[in-house]
């Protein structure tokens, strides 16, 4: 069984109240759905986890070696993550470097927060 860790999540200014405490406004739902939809694909979720768990940023060359997918397929998934505002990128020479949009990852976390229940990290 995998080890589970409890993590306290702090966020200064959430975009909206957690769904357990107040309903989303229509425009908030559109913005949040775009991000959740991008993460609905297991490859994109894994790509985001690789980018977010890197120390600062991640080169596309490092991402490509982690998957048995063609470069155009990886590029497509990265484009979806960029369009959903989950990652930023910078081109340096022939390589593109990616970093997470931590403020938007925080928004996703905050909207799903259950008041009074600590976040539990770890897969079972």
pLDDT value for 114: 83
The answer to pTM > 0.85 is no
Q: Chain-centre distance of CA 69, in angstroms?
A: 20
Distance CA 72, CA 54 (A): 22
Whole-number Cα distances in Å, 121 to 4, 12, 14, 32, 100: 6, 21, 20, 21, 19
The CATH number covering residue 43 comes to 1.10.10.10
Q: In percent, how much of the chain has pLDDT > 70?
A: 83
CA angle 94, 99, 104 (to 5 degrees): 145
Range of the domain at 50: 5-121
* Top-confidence residue, 59 or 12: 59
The domain total for the chain is 1
């Amino acid at each position: 069984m995998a080890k589970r860790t409890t993590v306290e999540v702090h966020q200064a200014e959430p975009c909206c109240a957690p769904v357990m405490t107040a309903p989303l406004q229509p425009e908030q739902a559109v913005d949040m759905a775009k991000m959740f939809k991008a993460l609905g694909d297991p490859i994109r979720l894994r790509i985001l986890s690789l980018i977010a768990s890197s120390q600062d940023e991640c080169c596309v060359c490092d991402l490509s070696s982690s998957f048995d997918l063609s470069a155009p397929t990886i590029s497509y998934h990265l484009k979806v993550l960029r369009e959903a505002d989950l990652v930023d990128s910078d081109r340096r020479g022939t390589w593109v470097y990616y970093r997470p949009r931590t403020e938007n990852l925080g928004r996703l976390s905050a909207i799903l927060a259950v008041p009074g229940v600590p976040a539990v990290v770890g897969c079972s």
